[in-house]
Amino acid sequence: MSSLKWLPTLFAMLLTACATTAKKPVPNRAVAPLPVEAVLGERLAAEFDRQAGDGSGQLAHLLSAARSSAEPEPARRALKVALQQGDNSAARELWSRWQHLQPEAPALRAWAIALALNQGQSERAWTLHQELAPPPLAVKDLAEALAAVPVRERVLPFIERSLAATDDVATAMRWVAFVQRLEEADMAMILAAGLIDRFPQNAQVWALRAGLKRDGKDLAGALEDYAEAFRLDPDSRFLRSNLAQLQDAVGDSAAAADLLAGIDPINDESVQAQAAYAARSADPVRMQSAYQALQTLPPPRLAPRLKMLGAMAELLSDQVAAVAWYRQVPSGPDRAGAILRAAVLLNDQGQLAAALSLIQELRAEGLSSREDLLNSYLVEGSLHANGADAKAALQVYDRALNVLPDESQLFYARALVNAAHDQIAAAEMDFRQVLAADPNDAAALNALGYTLADRTDRLDEALVLIERALQLQPDAAAIMDSMGWLRFRMGQLGQAVGYLKAAYAKQNDVEIAAHLGAALWVSGEHDQARQIWHEAQLRVPNNPVLRAILQQYGQQ
């Protein structure tokens, strides 16, 4: 049979659909071809109209381009827009133009079906769909064409009928996925349930419905379906991994880790996922199992595996091993972060000199990005600051600003050190520098406001700053704490306690506890204040803010 035999019949069927039109369109009338630049100009004008929301103008320009081009693509593109806008007359003309320029295009029949549906002719569309003549009808082409039909009530019954007519599970599943892409979640779920009824022993259809349920936030239902899919196909790594993801999502990270521990053969992806789930389970036995599995993976040990090994060693409180793993991360985008983490861990072990030397070695190797260089200075400065060597920390930030001028994070870090050591003018200058670059930097607004509230009598200025920070981040515990402490300093005890309790409920922080205890103490709630201070002391015995407040109220 000729590959073109079906086209005259098809086109006749399409044209009979418009008996109400006074004249048939003249799709292939002689039009002098426009220069390529003019066709491109029409397409550009169409895009401008689309962006401006002028659908009729967009279609008019695309129609002009299609009529004047000797290429089929402008007609196909314009046909899609005509269908989307419900202009069946233009769509018929454009389909004919495309057929004239590219008569053997496999997708022609798909768009003929879409045009029939757009005209409300469901039986004609089904007849075209069942046409056995070549070229073959691809599901992909048909799905693209059906997506252009704006009235879903005309498309969905056709899809349901197509799905029921096929015994090919893969094709049926593609139709369900297409319905989901149309954002018809309820219909997709109905179709998926029908597939399960027809193919109850097929793991893929259970997994398909599980995915739909997961996307619909029905995690418990998705977990049940994935479990059934996995029961039917226990050798599927894909199903095992997805079932583990869902177990973790519903809060059973231990089960997720166990499931991946049984995967065979193991690889980096499976073991790193197992390690992540084990870490979230906070179960030392599972964490140790994942850590050992990571170590047994064959070489090469690339950066992601080495970073995970370091992280697992940290979680297992083996800082020496963690440093060793991090130091093995090779040159590349991951090395700087790993080495800086190793420096922090060395400092935690009381090896400040070794930590600082490691940072110097990292810089000597050459850092590939500004961000890595910035982080190296921030970590170096924080190591000095945490060791109560403010002078050394300030020197680091001064040097860094010579290399990275106008870097807000360095000004902010230097300001915090100065504020902690009562250099209020210098701290304020740096905070103001940050705010000059970004007036909506909530952290800087809060830090400056808190500094003024805690160390000066400029409480009205502090109020303006903290109120602005709170507007930007109304749920931030640190900013609530600043507002509570400011209200305390202003003598507004009721508001102070309210803000501080809200902050403490969000973040069980020792300094918030110190402030809340002070507000409660002055309010006469001595027992409650002592309890909060005692709990904070147990967590962080030597916090300077807590220690100062305890001394002030005679509790040290």
pLDDT of residue 34: 55
pLDDT tens for each residue of 410-466: 999 999 999 999 999 999 999 999 999 999 999 999 999 999 999 999 999 999 999
Q: What is the mean pLDDT of the chain?
A: 89
Closest CA to 263 of 213, 297, 288: 297
- Residue 138: pLDDT band (50, 70, 90) is confident
- Residue 513: pLDDT band (50, 70, 90) is very high
Quick one: average pLDDT of 8-13?
A: 37
Domain residues of the chain, as ranges?
1-165
pLDDT of residue 44: 85
Quick one: average pLDDT of 294-301?
A: 92
Asked if the model's pLDDT at residue 20 lies above 50, the reply is no
Asked if the model's pLDDT at residue 19 lies above 80, the reply is no
What's the 3-state SS for 206-226?
Answer: HHHHHHHHHHCCCHHHHHHHH
- Residue 471: pLDDT band (50, 70, 90) is very high
Nearest-angstrom CA–CA distance, 302 and 305? 6
pLDDT of residue 2: 38
Quick one: average pLDDT of 226-240?
A: 95
pLDDT of residue 45: 85
Asked if the model's pLDDT at residue 41 lies above 90, the reply is no
pLDDT of residue 13: 37
Q: What percent of the chain has pLDDT over 70?
A: 93
CA atoms within 13 A on the CB side of 188: 23
Asked if the model's pLDDT at residue 15 lies above 60, the reply is no
pLDDT tens for each residue of 69-112: 889 999 999 999 999 999 999 999 999 999 999 998 889 999 99
Residue 14, phi-psi category: left (phi > 0), alpha (psi -120 to 50), beta (remainder): alpha
Topology of the domain covering 1-165: 1.25.40
pLDDT of residue 262: 85
DSSP annotation of 28 reads: T
Closest CA to 91 of 69, 75, 72, 73: 75
Most confident region among 14-28, 94-108, 484-498 by mean pLDDT: 484-498
Query: Who has greater pLDDT, 267 or 379?
Result: 379
Range in 33-42, 274-283, 436-445, 463-472 the model is least confident about = 33-42
Nearest-angstrom CA–CA distance, 308 and 287? 12
What are the tokens at 369? 């990005």
Closest CA to 256 of 225, 229, 280, 232: 280
pLDDT of residue 237: 92
Nearest-angstrom CA–CA distance, 398 and 377? 10
428, amino acid identity? E
Query: Who has greater pLDDT, 135 or 333?
Result: 333
What distance lies between CA 37 and its chain's CA centroid?
40
